[in-house]
């Protein structure tokens, strides 16, 4: 069975890029079949990055079922997730927001809660490799945020060049 990886409804760059990176990590590094999905159309910035790097837009889903295995990224708020999220088998959550409560898992899950935003940086480096900066998504997000919005991206794990 393929694990679904998704973020919050109304996906921004975090909630579009993080599922792509985590599904890649699960599939290619751990051998767990996974695919990124979205809970709505990506916002303008995320759509720009997908187009710029010629990445396919993940499938958009409206709900999950009791037979779905899921990883959640960039949220832990049930109001931002599919209506049937508490019926699904949530195996892990990676988020940087305050804990909201209300999510139920069938078994103990993996929960990563780094205290910084734009956690696709954390996801891209979670296996100890310098994978993030070499992925088109990471480079695209870097370019969009730095050059279009003129804000600094926190770098929680500084990799020596």
Q: What is the pLDDT of residue 24?
A: 87
Query: 55: buried, middle or exposed (CB in 10 Å: 19+, 13-18, 0-12)?
Result: middle
What does the alpha-carbon distance between residue 68 and residue 115 come to, in Å, rounded to a whole number?
Answer: 28
pLDDT of residue 161: 44
What is the structure's pLDDT at 156? 41
Spatial CA neighbour of 119 closest among 138, 101, 99, 147: 138
Question: In CATH, which superfamily holds the domain spanning 3-148?
Answer: inorganic pyrophosphatase (n-terminal core) (3.90.1640.10)
Q: What is the bridge-based pairing of β-strands 69-73 and 59-60? A: unpaired
Q: Who contacts 161 (Cβ-Cβ below 8 Å, separation ≥6)? A: none
Number of other CB atoms surrounding residue 120 within 10 Å: 28
Per-residue pLDDT of the chain (161 residues; tens, 9 = 90+): 899 999 999 999 989 988 998 898 889 888 999 999 999 999 999 998 888 888 899 999 999 999 999 999 989 899 999 999 999 999 988 887 777 878 887 776 666 655 544 444 444 444 444 444 455 545 544 444 443 333 333 334 444 44
**Domains in the chain: boundaries:** 3-148
- What is the model's pLDDT at position 38? 98
Tokens of 18: 């993080």
pLDDT of residue 114: 56
* Rounded Cα–Cα distance for residues 108 and 126 (Å): 20
């Amino acid at each position: 069975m393929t694990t679904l990886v998704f973020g919050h409804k109304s996906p921004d760059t975090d909630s579009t890029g993080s599922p792509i990176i985590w599904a890649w990590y699960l599939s290619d590094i751990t051998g767990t079949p996974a695919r990124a999905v979205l809970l709505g159309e990506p916002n303008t910035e995320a759509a720009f990055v997908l187009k710029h790097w010629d990445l396919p837009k993940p499938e958009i889903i409206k709900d999950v079922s009791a037979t779905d295995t899921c990883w959640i990224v960039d949220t832990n708020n049930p109001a931002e997730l599919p209506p049937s999220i508490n019926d699904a088998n949530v195996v892990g959550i990676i988020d940087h927001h305050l804990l909201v409560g209300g999510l139920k898992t069938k078994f103990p899950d993996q929960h990563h809660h780094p205290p910084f935003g734009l956690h696709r940086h954390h996801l891209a480096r979670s296996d100890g490799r310098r994978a993030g900066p070499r992925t088109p998504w990471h480079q695209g997000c870097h370019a969009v945020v730095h050059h279009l919005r003129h804000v600094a991206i926190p770098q929680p794990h500084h990799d020596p060049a």
